[in-house]
Chains A and B, each alone.
Chain A
């Protein structure tokens, strides 16, 4: 039901009546965000819709974000959110099928064979090729079901209508679908999205699961930086699910079944857990009307309970080396509070002072002056909602070692923690924030991403603008203090990759 204040953005009594009838609740941007006229609509099932009408080319960007991601996955089911991201492109009860009944009959058989495969796995190594036989049977049944499938029809309808950049991504805390459409055909997005949310069919499940395994091989198993990232997080987070890979472990992916994925979808991918941002050449009244018409009747669903696990305080440095037939890489992470903590803006500013641009401290020293690194980059992550890491990724230049990079990095951090940044450094970042506030408005899709993320994760789209404003109020002492408090030796986890543990 209505959750936001009704205010006066509506331009006519007719449109007011229309939207009231649609059970929409509307709000307005405050003066601080006058440049972004965000219209807010909350449907009775809880779906929050943000609409921004902008001049320019007749195109519209859509971002649908669900507040469910890697951290919400049950133990033993890593990767389920990411697999779901893939499966929602497989069509619905209407789209993608020529004979839904025939498909569903085969699904039951396929699922039964998969259960048998998993039972054999529990007994240890299978003998006599039984597992292979069962897998072949499962794949054969899926091929039979495929004869009733119209392959990739959902994607094809949209791209044929002019959609660009149709894609999705899964993070630790969200699953995000996005596309851009010619404005004239924007209604098509609502019609298909409503059907997709209400009536998805998880067809071709096991072949798509194999696709996801290939994605893991590409991003992690054959990618030094991806492998290092995964191992580093697993070392830094022993309790919190930030230590689990969003793409899933291979073992968990192999055990994932269609019924398990479908049940997870039915529970957490409802409108009450979703935000839709629409930005472009579109009338917000149309957005409100189509949202209600196509998305308003979908059952609300549950919201994930959130993560109650708190990562225990780290009391000593942790180190890990990943032996890999590759040139060395370095990754360091220090535990920090969640981004919503009062120290969040100062920590973000700290990252900018250390590696934001060529005049930043670490770039100047490691890349320019000493020439011992090709790149050095500080960030916070892997998510935003929970206590995470202040991360530094650096790549040494031969013959420099990761140990040399570490020593220089720690020296610069100690200097910053002792003396703090200069006013000139703070001013440089304020200038960049001011310019960034204008540049962020250049892209409809970029703005839609920002609005959806802030509303989905923090409950208010204005958060994306507040963060920029908060930067302007951080002083040098605040940056010095967070460097001193969080970037300590006992609080860090260091991961290296290469042929030798010596770092070269």
Chain B
């Protein structure tokens, strides 16, 4: 197997993490010296290189793993709900579940279940806005039967009517229960507010689940558009070698037709520009706060992108080392968790967002702290130590990107499907190391403006609304659902 060697670990200044010029405690000088010396030991490892070949025109990425008698096969297909219009939202969202539960053309749902459990398979289907995924894990000795079953489920689904109706009932129940979870409610309302009638902003509604929209024919239609060969990438890890696995994959791939026409990519969103303060009134002992606005940083091998990633880590994405969690939790005791998020799609705008949960009487105070922390980074660069600390976290943890063969293969499949270069992780690793404090200031200054935030709070309006008025006129969001 080809491998690339990586070394990281020069000059990690572990003692520099206090305030500048701060006296270092003298109680245990040996400990501090030891911490510094061990923390600077180079991390030297060889990066495994993924094998690649084609089967029937379908790319296969593979990494042998002889440690255990197991085989794992991943399938990645272009084709999530974001590639369909709203009338197909439910069927495209439900496709993974019905592939798993709906039987095949020659096996009833019960027969599929019994086969899966009898062979002790782990078999999952999932989807995101732009893709459908499935993973099969089996004892290597059962590989033939497992792949035959899995291929039948993907290529020849039965979409059993009873299972469709049961799934529909669960979805309708999920719609009812959306308001029971304040965090889910806050995030879905924020997405709806920012993205409007775009797949990111869609939330399942009873109208989406009308019988005509989840008919067998509708599932067949969506399935035919997604489960075709040109959309597929396969990944393999496990104890079988190529000569053993290739015939099995060949049989699987041949069951799928070529795609009749390419699926369109999801439309670009038009993200809300106007700021605002929005309250969903729920009589809760804790408010959920989400704030966000649009930004225009794209996923690319570019200094601006790396600066945004490092900057977000300094702001709130870097756990206890980040400013938002340090202030909201450690200093103020306002919340158990607080974090920021900066999404950077390659083809369209993303958002910068922050979230926390706190008691009603501290809701406005917590928002103040989060907005103020963002504002600081638009006016002053982070300290050199903050940036270096973030780079150290990224780079020292790089070895964990290769912790398991399955993880390595799944990542390479994602890069391939997204059109990213195969060496994207290495480019990222190199790119973040070039970021300097002024780069972070530049990207924050250009892209982040706390006064543009849409702030959504799910909480007890009677207790929080007056104080929230200092961020702007408060608007109520009325929620349908529940009873």
Using a CB–CB distance below 8 Å, which chain A residues touch chain B? 54-59, 89, 93-95, 97-100, 146, 150-153, 155-157, 159-164, 180, 182, 184-185, 187-188, 191-192, 195, 199, 204, 206-215, 217-218, 221-224, 325-327, 357-359, 364, 367-368, 371, 374, 395-398, 427-428, 431-432, 434-436, 438-439, 441-443, 499
Contact = CB atoms under 8 A, between A and B. Distances in A.
A427 B329 CA distance: 50
A222 B286 contact: yes
Interface stretch (B343-351, B394-402, B413-421): B394-402
Interface string B160-186: 001101100110111011011110000
B67 interface: yes
Given A187-B38, A221-B285, A434-B120, 14 more contacts: A94-B28, A98-B19, A151-B330, A160-B396, A162-B398, A164-B400, A195-B28, A206-B333, A207-B333, A325-B482, A358-B113, A374-B174, A432-B120, A435-B120
B35 A157 contact: yes
B475 interface: no
A195 B177 CA distance: 47
A430 B170 CA distance: 31
Q: Which of B44, B174, B336 has the most C-beta atoms of chain A within 10 angstroms of its own C-beta?
A: B336
B369 to A, nearest CB: 13
A188 B393 contact: no
B333 A210 contact: yes
15 contacts: A58-B44, A98-B22, A155-B320, A160-B393, A161-B38, A162-B393, A162-B397, A182-B400, A214-B335, A325-B283, A326-B180, A358-B117, A428-B117, A439-B137, A441-B68
Nearest to B178: A327
A439 B68 CA distance: 8
Interface string B39-50: 101111100000
A222 B38 contact: no
A371 B168 CA distance: 10
B43 A224 contact: no
Interface in B19-57: 19, 22-25, 27-28, 31-32, 34-35, 38-39, 41-45
B280 to A, nearest CB: 13
A397 B70 CA distance: 37
Contact of B402 (A57, A99, A374, A434): A57
Contact of A188 (B39, B359, B404): B39
Interface in B109-124: 109-110, 113-114, 116-120, 122
A44 B273 CA distance: 65
B335 A188 contact: no
Contacts of A162: 43, 393, 396-400
A209 B23 CA distance: 28
Nearest to B329: A211
Contacts of B329: 211
B337 to A, nearest CB: 8
Interface string B294-317: 000000000000000000000000
A211 B328 CA distance: 10
Given A160-B389, A162-B43, A155 B319 contact: yes
Contacts of B31: 94-95, 191, 195
A160 B43 contact: no
Contacts of B45: 57-58
B332 A398 contact: no
A211 B333 contact: yes
Contacts of A188: 35, 38-39
A93 B26 CA distance: 9
Contacts of A438: 68-70, 139
Nearest to A368: B166
